Every structure is written in structure tokens, then in C-alpha cells.
Amino acid sequence: MWKWLHPYAKAETTYKLCYRLLPYFSWLAVITLVSGSIWGLFYAPSDYQQGDSFRIIYFHVPTAIWSMGAYTSMAICGLIGIVWQIRNAELAVYAIAPVGAAFTFLALISGAIWGKPMWGAWWVWDARLTSELILLFLYLGVIALYNSFEDKRTAARASSILAIVGVINVPIIHYSVEWWNTLHQGASITKLDKPSISPDMLWPLLLNISGFLFVLAALVCLRLANQILINDARRPWVKAMVSEKTNKAEQSKNKATLADKE
């Protein structure tokens, strides 16, 4: 059942996959974010209650959604790393953590900016806001735990365990507006019935949600590839790759020198 995971236990395979996917994720991120942001900020109609201040939704909602999505992915990677002893999955936990922390920070900041004109305060100890703040601390805890051990294998496993334990906070964030009486509005798009938002506002929001997902994926691919290189710096495949790139650079330099002489 899990045989498809086996090739990615090899560091070289995962490294090449990351750089193969990186340009696709990057271009998709640019296309969707530019399209969604222009559509949402300049062409979507104003909200009948909030006016134009609602437009921060095109940045707040995507970062909030993927702050939870990134943590869930981190917990899944941690589980795979511990259960199936796949080193690259453990490295993925640390690769995801700073990116997820950045998304969570942006969600909190954009939420505060949105909350000030709506609630009259930058911050309230609302259930949704408080649980999202806890998510940021969990991300920072994973990062700090990884860097507190000299043995990086032990560090990766400890970080993976914290990621798995902390994932319980994700459903708390999502359902907090239903479980408690909060100031934060309920779900607009992530619910079973029809989204309670106009299609003219919904489509650019969906584009930006996709765009931030591609940003997340691109950054994680880049970080994971770098972590693999750091971890396998003395392995033969890394030395061979560096040697090959050095030779190509020297050949290009020699060709340029000959062209200048001619």
C-alpha cells in the first residue's frame, strides 16, 4: 500500500523532485496571486456592511487556511518519519515549520488589521485568535526543538513528535467559532452547504487560496532541497553533483573566454 513512498526515502530522488516541481509551483503562484489579487482588490464589489475594508479577506483567509494546512502536513510528515523511518519526511517537518510560522504570523497580522475597524480593537482574546496564536507558538516550538539538539536525527524525531501532538490544535482553530461564542465570523466557504459569499467575491478568493498554496509548496520544496543538501553534504551523490556543476561552469567560462578572443 505504501510502496509509492519507498523511492522518496532516497535523498537524491527527493532532492531532484523538489527542484523539478519548484518552477511549476513558482509560476502557478505568480499567475494565480496576481490574477486573484487584481480581481479581488479592484473589480470585486464592495461588501454591503464592511465596504472596501473586507478586501483584506483575499490575504487573511488564504494565509489562515494554509497556516493550518501546513501544520497538518508537518504532522503527517512527522508520523511518516517516525513510523516508516523515512529520514526525508523528518527533514520535511523542519522545512515546513518556518514557512508555516510565517503564514500564521501573516494571518494574525492581517486579522488584526481587519479586526480594528470591525471590532474597534487590534486584538481580543477570542477563541479563534487565541488558538491561532497557539499555532504560532507550536511552530516556533518545533523550530526551537530542532535547533536545541546537536544530533540532528534526535532533533528531527523530537520535532516530529511535537508536530504530531500539536496537530490537535488544528480542529480547535477550525471549529472554535462553532464550539464557543466568539466575535470571529463563522465559515464562509469551508462548509458543507453553499458558500455564504457572492460568486463575484468568491472566485478571486479561491484564486488567492490556490496562489498561497503554490507559494507554500514552492518555499517548502526549496527549503527541503536545501535541508537534504546540508544533511547529505558528504555523500557521494552530492559531491558528484557539485563536481558536475563546477565542470559545466568552467566549460561555459572557457567558451566565453574563447568567444571574447575571437
Say whether pTM exceeds 0.85. Answer: yes
Q: Contacts for 47-52 with beta carbons within 8 Å, 24 or more apart?
A: 47/201, 50/117, 50/118
Q: Which residues contact 187 (CB under 8 A, 6 or more apart)?
A: 177
Determine the pLDDT at residue 105: 98
Could you tell me the pLDDT band of residue 12, with boundaries at 50, 70 and 90? very high
Determine the pLDDT at residue 191: 52
Q: Which three cell numbers stand for residue 231?
A: 544533511
pLDDT, tens digit, for every residue of 209-245?
999 999 999 999 999 999 999 999 888 998 888 888 8
Q: Contacts for 167-175 with beta carbons within 8 Å, 24 or more apart?
A: 167/71, 167/72, 167/75, 169/71, 169/131, 169/134, 169/135, 169/138, 170/68, 170/71, 170/72, 170/135, 172/131, 173/68, 173/128, 173/131, 173/132, 173/135, 174/68
Cα Rg, the chain, nearest whole Å: 22
Domains recognised in the chain with CATH numbers: 12-42+53-186+207-244 (1.20.120)
Could you tell me the pLDDT band of residue 133, with boundaries at 50, 70 and 90? very high
Q: Which three cell numbers stand for residue 249?
A: 561552469
pLDDT, tens digit, for every residue of 143-187?
999 999 999 889 999 999 999 999 999 999 988 877 766 655 655
What SS3 class is residue 126? coil
